[in-house]
Amino acid sequence: MNIASLVVRVAPGQREALTRELLEIPGVEVHGAAPDGGRLIVTVEDGEGYSMMDSILAVNVNKRVHGVTLAYEYTGDGIEMQEQEA
């Protein structure tokens, strides 16, 4: 499992259109916006047939996006559960 949280900067008048476009990208969810409308809080998860990084790139290259900040990233790749000896 891979998941990332992004802060996406957008012109306030473009927020609704950008939200619609972002929701078409696999694994992307929009969770809220700043009161001024210039920033969106977005999460991106990987899934069957697409990677988190591809979805982040798709967010970043959207013509309405002014900038993207990676706020949090988690990856479960390579993590193995180990039993502790009692």
| pLDDT at residue 24 tops 80 | yes
* Residue 24 within any structural domain of the chain: yes
Domain that holds residue 68: 2-75
Give the CATH number of the domain where residue 63 resides: 3.30.70.920
Domain count within the chain = 1
pLDDT digits (tens, 9 = 90+) for 30-78: 999 999 989 999 999 999 999 999 999 999 999 999 999 999 999 887 6
Give long-range contacts, CB 8 A cutoff, 24+ apart: 60-67. Answer: 62/18, 62/21, 62/22, 64/10, 64/11, 64/14, 64/17, 64/18, 64/21, 65/8, 65/9, 65/10, 65/18, 66/9, 66/10, 66/11, 67/8, 67/9
